[in-house]
Amino acid sequence: MKDVLIPVLLILLAPLLGGLLYGFERIVKARMQRRIGPPLLQPFYDFLKLADKRRMMVHSTHAFLGIMHFVSLWFALAVLLLGGDLVLVIFLHLLSTSLLILAGYSTRSVFSHLGANRAAISVLAYEPVLIIIAVSIFMLNGTFDTAAVFTGKEPLLYKMPLAFIALLLVLPIKLKKSPFDVAEAHQEITGGVELEFSGLFYEAVYTARWLDYIFCYTLVFLFAGSNILLGIGLVVFTFIYLNALDNSTARVSYKQMLRFSLGVAGTLAFINLLINSFS
């Protein structure tokens, strides 16, 4: 009973926790730039304000795809937290991202198309690395289930440190952080796929980003296994690393991003896979 209660609570409260995390991140980012920053509850104020705007949509399929992006991402998070198949989780996440890419292609806006192209390239950059990491976990545990990882005695971090470094290198792509934020690129293509969403329908995409934070930090937590203190340490380290990286780097082009993630992060993950399969 207790084993199920905590994941279910986490799943139900995931949008709330993600919103708080996003608000906290904005404060941390502002403090790194010696600014004061917005209040902690700022994402929820944004949420309530967006609900108050006049409803506008491009066409119904576009709005529907945006909402389904949120729903499928929440479902992927639920499968991950309840100890489901890791490959299934990665592909569910891919499904939710591809729904958003489809939404981007379904409008006639040039920026939306450009953003969808770039989002598709980002998927191409991080997806192989995540799958190699999942296969490495299979080689160690003999199963893809995350339940086996959460209950494992020795943390994965000690057995596959190279995979953790590879994950750290691809996380900025997944969370659309600088230097790998070509997919979003605010002020260049003004949000890319999110461009045509407005008001109530933008909320689905906006809150899906909060869920994405929880999803990515759960992936990081996975490397600590049953060691909760180590897990919290890893999450805090990743949080500071991501924000410092976001504040200190400029955007690279999509070709550089692809070359870096497949060349460096992909190679690291693959070496890790070889070590794990032959040791």
Partner 1 sequence: MNLAPYRKKSPWILHYNAGGCNGCDIEILACLSPKYDIERFGMINTGNPKQSDILLVTGPVTKRSRERLVEIYAQMPEPKVVISCGACASTGGVFRGMYNCEGGVDQFIPVDVYVCGCGTRPEQIIDGVVQALAILEKKTKGLEESVKLKKEAVKEGHQLNRRHIADEIKPVLT
Residue 45 or residue 241: which is nearer to partner 1 going by CB? 45
Residue 187 or residue 279: which is nearer to partner 1 going by CB? 187
Residue 206 or residue 223: which is nearer to partner 1 going by CB? 206
Q: Copy the structure tokens of residue 269.
A: 């993950």
Give dist(CA 251, CA 242) in Å, integer.
14
SS3 state of residue 178: coil
Give dist(CA 197, CA 57) in Å, integer.
7
Q: What is the dihedral of CA 142, 146, 150, 154, to 10 degrees?
A: 30
Site for partner 1 in 44-83 (CB under 8 A): 45-46, 48-56
For residue 58, the 8-state DSSP code is: S
Q: Please choose, out of 126-134, 165-173, 185-193, 255-263, the segment that lies near partner 1 by the rule CB under 8 A.
A: 185-193
* Binding residue for partner 1, selected from 106, 141, 198, 249, defined by CB under 8 A: 198
Residue 194 or residue 212: which is nearer to partner 1 going by CB? 194
Residue 26 or residue 251: which is nearer to partner 1 going by CB? 26
Residue tagged 């924000």 (tokens): 243
Give residues with Cβ within 8 angstroms of 71, minimum separation 6.
none
Q: Does residue number 34 form part of the binding site for partner 1 (CB under 8 A)?
A: yes
Residue 111 or residue 260: which is nearer to partner 1 going by CB? 111
Give dist(CA 26, CA 40) in Å, integer.
8
Q: Does residue number 187 form part of the binding site for partner 1 (CB under 8 A)?
A: yes
Residue 187 phi, psi (nearest 5) = 75, -10
Q: Does residue number 37 form part of the binding site for partner 1 (CB under 8 A)?
A: yes
- Least distance between partner 1 and beta carbon 121 (Å): 21
SS3 state of residue 19: helix
Give dist(CA 218, CA 215) in Å, integer.
5
Give dist(CA 6, CA 205) in Å, integer.
26
- Least distance between partner 1 and beta carbon 273 (Å): 41
Size of the site for partner 1 (CB under 8 A): 32
- Least distance between partner 1 and beta carbon 111 (Å): 9
Q: Please choose, out of 38-46, 122-130, 226-234, 245-253, the segment that lies near partner 1 by the rule CB under 8 A.
A: 38-46
Residue 213 or residue 221: which is nearer to partner 1 going by CB? 213
* Binding residue for partner 1, selected from 202, 217, 221, 270, defined by CB under 8 A: 202
Give dist(CA 106, CA 193) in Å, integer.
10
Q: Does residue number 190 form part of the binding site for partner 1 (CB under 8 A)?
A: yes
Q: What is the dihedral of CA 150, 235, 90, 9, to 10 degrees?
A: 60
Q: Does residue number 84 form part of the binding site for partner 1 (CB under 8 A)?
A: no
Residue 34 or residue 153: which is nearer to partner 1 going by CB? 34
Q: Is 191 left (phi over 0), alpha (psi -120 to 50) or beta?
A: left
Residues that bind partner 1 (CB under 8 A): 26, 30, 33-39, 42, 45-46, 48-56, 186-187, 190-191, 194-199, 202
